[in-house]
Amino acid sequence: MKRSLWWLARAAINGLNEHPPINQTVYLTHVKWVTGKKQLEKYFSRFGPIKDVALFFDSESGLHRGFASLTFVNAESAAAAVQQRPHVIDGGSGVFNST
């Protein structure tokens, strides 16, 4: 909600033609438990250089929770990855959310 209000305020100031900014970090959900950092980095490096890949694990079970964050070196690469969906890795279809 905060982000929506921020964007509306920016749009009012700058005009409605401006798009909301896309960050370098994007979040991927529905990641299969067999998918690792190296597979994600290899797959998404086609959109540009990647600074960091983080997989999230359950603290009690130690199992992969099914989502990851990818930080690209530049925002243009992140935008390209978000626009080129759906992404299918290891038979699973991933869903992107940009910050």
Q: How far is CA 8 from the centre of its chain?
A: 23
User: What is d(CA 94, CA 6) in angstroms, rounded to the nearest whole number?
Assistant: 28
Q: Judging by beta carbons within 10 Å of its beta carbon (0-12, 13-18, 19+), is residue 34 exposed, middle or buried? A: exposed
Q: Is the pTM of this model over 0.75?
A: no
Topology of domain 22-98 in CATH is Alpha-Beta Plaits (3.30.70)
Question: What is d(CA 24, CA 19) in angstroms, rounded to the nearest whole number?
Answer: 15
* pLDDT for 82: 87
* Chain segment 13-71, per-residue pLDDT in tens: 555 454 555 589 999 888 888 889 999 999 999 999 999 999 999 999 988 898 899 99
